[in-house]
């Protein structure tokens, strides 16, 4: 399991704990649930109902709120594809790790279309395909694309050219229904490999309403590695992948803040 680069997931236990601590009287300790996730929430809910109105009951309610937050944070874990122990069913990952994610909601919509911000993240730390650059990338999240823009990319955004379609030996091919492609300048300069870190491309893709591929391994990606002159090296990456939902960090912080505020109001009223 991997977490989207840039999200300070190490803060999650602190935020959960801090929200819970604000629910209890000063000097009191919060009883820890014997289970976590939904199972723990059910157990704590039953205990609260049995002790409704008591201070102990309130502490259980606070613990349930904290676990509820944690269950919201859990989807922030995405399942990538790549070398063992990960899965790479097409056998073309070449040592790199790939993730395809979005935040769960369209960034805009019309009566007939939805636009989603789709992020393709590649970790080429242990890339072993012999190339020197990632030269072109192409995700597919629907069978039909109305339009798209490349919102961000490694290096200089203006260096990346875009077109509909997938990838062939020359880069973006202009063919392949549902694919959208971004290609670096020639010779490539912006995504050298191997690289001890990650690269991300964000595509704002407009598709017919209700056609987003959200099933297991329903989406697809293509990636081209090249030498320093832009000549293809090794096989094209062509893999099925699951489009994962990752809530924005601001959403997680909003949930935490809401729990803390409600706890504070309850204590003042008590």
pLDDT in tens, 144-173: 999 999 999 999 999 999 999 999 999 999
- The shares of helix, strand and coil residues in the chain, as percent rounded to the nearest 5, are 25, 30, 45
pLDDT computed for residue 79 by the predictor: 84
User: What is the architecture of the domain spanning 80-241?
Assistant: Sandwich (2.60)
pLDDT computed for residue 147 by the predictor: 98
pLDDT in tens, 14-33: 444 444 444 444 434 333 43
pLDDT computed for residue 174 by the predictor: 96
The secondary structure of 203-254, three-state, reads EEEEEECCCCCCCCCCEEEEEEEECCCCCECCCCEEEEECEEECCCHHHHHH
Mean pLDDT over each residue of the chain, to the nearest integer: 79
And the tokens for 16? 């959960």
pLDDT in tens, 177-234: 999 999 999 999 999 999 999 999 999 999 999 999 999 999 999 999 999 999 999 9
pLDDT at 35 over 50: no
Tell me what the mean pLDDT of segment 57-65 comes to. 52
* pTM given for the model: 0.69
Domain boundaries, the chain: 2-75+249-269, 80-241
- Smallest CA-to-CA distance from 100 within 194, 239, 252 is with 239
């Amino acid at each position: 399991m991997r977490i989207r680069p840039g999200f300070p997931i190490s803060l999650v236990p602190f935020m959960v704990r801090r929200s819970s601590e604000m629910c209890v009287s000063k000097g009191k300790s919060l009883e820890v649930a014997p289970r976590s996730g939904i199972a723990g929430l059910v157990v704590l809910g039953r205990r609260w109902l049995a002790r409704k109105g008591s201070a102990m009951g309130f502490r259980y309610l606070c613990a349930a709120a904290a676990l509820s937050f944690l269950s919201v944070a859990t989807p922030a874990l995405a399942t990538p594809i790549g070398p063992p122990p990960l899965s790479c069913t097409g056998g073309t990952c070449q040592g790199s790790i790939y993730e395809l994610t979005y935040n769960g909601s369209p960034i805009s919509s019309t009566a007939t279309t939805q636009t989603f911000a789709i992020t393709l993240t590649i970790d080429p730390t242990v890339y072993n395909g012999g190339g020197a650059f990632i030269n072109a990338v192409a995700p597919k999240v629907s069978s039909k694309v109305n339009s798209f823009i490349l919102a961000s990319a490694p290096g200089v955004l203006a260096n990346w050219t875009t077109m509909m379609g997938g990838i062939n030996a020359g880069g973006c091919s202009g063919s392949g229904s549902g694919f959208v492609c971004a290609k670096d300048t020639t010779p490539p300069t912006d995504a050298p490999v191997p690289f001890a870190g990650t690269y991300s491309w964000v595509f704002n893709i407009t598709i017919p309403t209700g056609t987003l591929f959200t099933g297991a391994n329903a989406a697809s990606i293509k990636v081209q590695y090249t030498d320093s002159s832009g000549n293809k090296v090794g096989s094209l990456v062509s893999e099925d992948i699951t489009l994962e939902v990752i809530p924005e960090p601001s959403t997680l912080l909003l949930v935490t803040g809401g729990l803390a505020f409600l706890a504070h109001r309850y204590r003042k009223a008590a």
